[in-house]
Amino acid sequence: MIKDLREEFFAELDEQARKEFEINFSKGDDISISIIQRKCKVGWNAASRLLTHLIKEKKIVKNNHIYSVL
């Protein structure tokens, strides 16, 4: 039961971060965990999860050690 509540909480937090990402970032923007934290007003863990998901979804690409929004 606690595990389910925890997963639900993180799912809601991740959805909030994803919505903020769509609002605050556009194609060609440089992006990092700290920039996601500041613009989306989320913690490090949520920003890291969001960055990881966006890389897997190929919405962000890494060029010369810098991530950019596609």
Q: Looking at this protein, which amino acid is placed at residue 53?
A: H
pTM of the model: 0.76
Tens digits of residue pLDDT in 24-70:
898 989 999 999 999 988 889 888 988 988 888 888 988 888 888 88
* DSSP strands (E only) in the chain: 30-31, 60-63, 66-69
Domains of the chain: residue spans and CATH: 2-69 (1.10.10)
Residue partners of 26: CB distance under 8 A and separation at least 6: 69
CA within 13 Å, CB half, 22: 5
